[in-house]
Amino acid sequence: MQRTKIFPSLDAAVADIPDGSTIGFAGFGGVGTPWFLIAALSRQGAKRLTCVSNSTTARDMPPGAADMSAIVANGQLAKGICAFTAGTRPSQKLVFTEWYEAGKVEAEIVPQGTLAERLRAAGAGIPAFFTPAGVGTEVSEGKEHRDFDGRTYVMERALPLDYAFIRAWKADALGNLQFRLSQRNFNPLMAMAARVTIVEVEEDVLPAGGLDPDQIHVPGLYVHRLVKVDPKGMPA
Amino acid sequence: MSEEKGLSRQQMCNRLAREFADGWIVNLGVGIPTMCANADFSDRLITFHAENGVIGYGAIAAPGQEDKHLVNAGGQHVLPKPGMVIVHHADSFALIRSGKIDVTVMGAYQVSEKGDFANWKLAGAKGGGIGGAMDLAACAKRVFIVMEHTTRDGSPRIIKNCTLPITAPGVVKMVATNYGLFRIDAAGVTLTEIAPGLTVDEVKAATGCPLVIPDNLQVVAT
């Protein structure tokens, strides 16, 4: 017997997300970004969300896509946990930065490797770890420090998610996932860190056995919902 | 940008890239540092690593050649190269943290004479952009900085103490600016090579901390 993980639509896949959830958006530089699921979340309207994402913006989005800016502009965000809470150039004014500066959303800025490892730790049953990144800077203020072998490290906590939004290249009906090139980025880590993992898939979902077991990047046991999308664009 | 004095951005990057040794794993930050990839490496094997888990990527893709699934850490489409490897973000930073990166080249707003540098947050800003800079700065074997020598209004960027929030303390070993090449160590900041057309007094006047001037001061070969 096999229950299907395939959902009929993006909207159906995000329909039950309650107010106050912590949601991770994978993706980096607009590659592997689950922008159709984010668009569905903006239609769904859940409020007081904590969103975890490397940055708040994606580039070159197709029709029907959205990035975290849409969640901010829609008044759905309470807090962003990101490696970038402002643009990479001073001239770049992001929607998130405007809302943050106006005091309408909270932000936690996290070094990118620490963000990745906090997600990995959450998916690996590790409550906290020590890293040298950020020692001696603003981001380690108030946190526990400890010396190991003559070097100072800061303790960082695991970052579990209620929901992870993932974009994969290929999937099978059991939810086993494959990514292509730099699409992988945060996707496997967020999938492992979440209680419920929702995936937008670029190619048709294959039957079980359609993927080589040695070439699966995320085992289906971490994956709960699959929606086939059209990489070129989706009707909103 | 301040007035176009001394080296161009590409010349600054070419000079730093001459320090890369055969076999090095190199991480290039967003902005000016990406131009290091355009230098001549025909005599050395250099592997470029990007934070998003791409190890051994090739040149920036020309228009029409882009693969929608492949970008570098700056979000620029790059070409695959034989031997390229993809890992996820946690593995990408595992290799950073464990010291596998021979050099990281980054831009900066300020560098102090103690080797502190600031590149993630501007004065008065609430938000910032750390990206992978803190992990790389704390863990790479060497940190090189490439930046304009002064701010838009002519203030020095190489100074006694950073006034902006720092990215990491005491890690910068070498700085290339349009004014020349600088080494930072226990002796402070040494001008090791000066840009063609500039005088030592001009460099000193545009620098916010004492400069050691060696007897055998060289001119940057361009």
pLDDT tens, B140-153?
Answer: 999 999 999 999 99
- For residue A24, give the H/E element and its range: strand A22-25
Measured between CB atoms, which of B68, B80, B93 is closest to A117? B93
Q: How confident is the model over B9-18, as a mean pLDDT?
A: 97
**pLDDT per position as a tens digit, A117-150:** 999 999 999 999 999 999 999 999 999 999 999 9
pLDDT at B49 over 90: yes
* Among chain A residues, CA nearest to B54: A182
Which chain A residues touch B134 with a CB distance below 8 Å?
111, 113-114, 133-134, 137, 139
Token duo for residue A176: 């086993």
B71: nearest Cα among A164, A210, A156, A32: A32
For residue A7, the distance in angstroms to the closest alpha carbon of chain B comes to 25
A67 touches chain B (CB under 8 A): no
Sheet holding B110-112, edge to edge: B117-118, B110-112, B158-159
Give the integer Cα–Cα distance in Å for A122 and A154. 17
Q: What is the pLDDT of residue B124?
A: 84
Q: Residue ranges of the domains in chain B?
A: 9-219
Which homologous superfamily does the CATH classification assign to the domain defined by B9-219? Glutaconate Coenzyme A-transferase (3.40.1080.10)
Cα–Cα dist A184/A160, whole Å = 19
Nearest-by-CA chain B residue for A61: B68
* Separation of alpha carbons B7 and A206, rounded Å: 55
B51 is catalytic: yes
d(CA B198, CA A161): 55
Tell me the pairing of strands B172-177 and B180-185.
antiparallel
Q: Where residue A164 sits, what CATH number does that domain have?
A: 3.40.1080.10
Residue A1 has pLDDT above 70, yes or no: no
As for how many domains chain A has, the answer is: 1
Q: Print the domain residue range for A168.
A: 18-109+160-228
First to last CA, chain A: 35
Computed over every residue of chain A, the mean pLDDT equals 96
Phi, psi at residue B201, to the nearest 5°? -65, -40
Share of chain A above pLDDT 70, in %: 99
Residues in B touching A62 (Cβ below 8 Å): none
This prediction's pTM: 0.96
Residue B1 is predicted with a pLDDT of 43
Of B122, B128, B135, nearest to A85 by CB-CB distance is B128
- The confidence score (pLDDT) of residue A150 equals 97
How is the beta sheet containing A145-148 ordered, strand by strand?
Answer: A128-131, A151-157, A145-148
The pLDDT value recorded for residue A2 is: 60
Is A111 at the interface with chain B, CB within 8 A? Answer: yes
Reported residue count of chain A is: 236
How far apart CA B1 and CA B177 sit, in angstroms, is: 12
Q: So what's the pLDDT on residue A88?
A: 76
Residue type, A185: N
List chain A residues with CB under 8 Å of B72.
Answer: 29
User: Across-strand partners of A227?
Assistant: A200
**Residue range A208-224: mean pLDDT, rounded:** 97
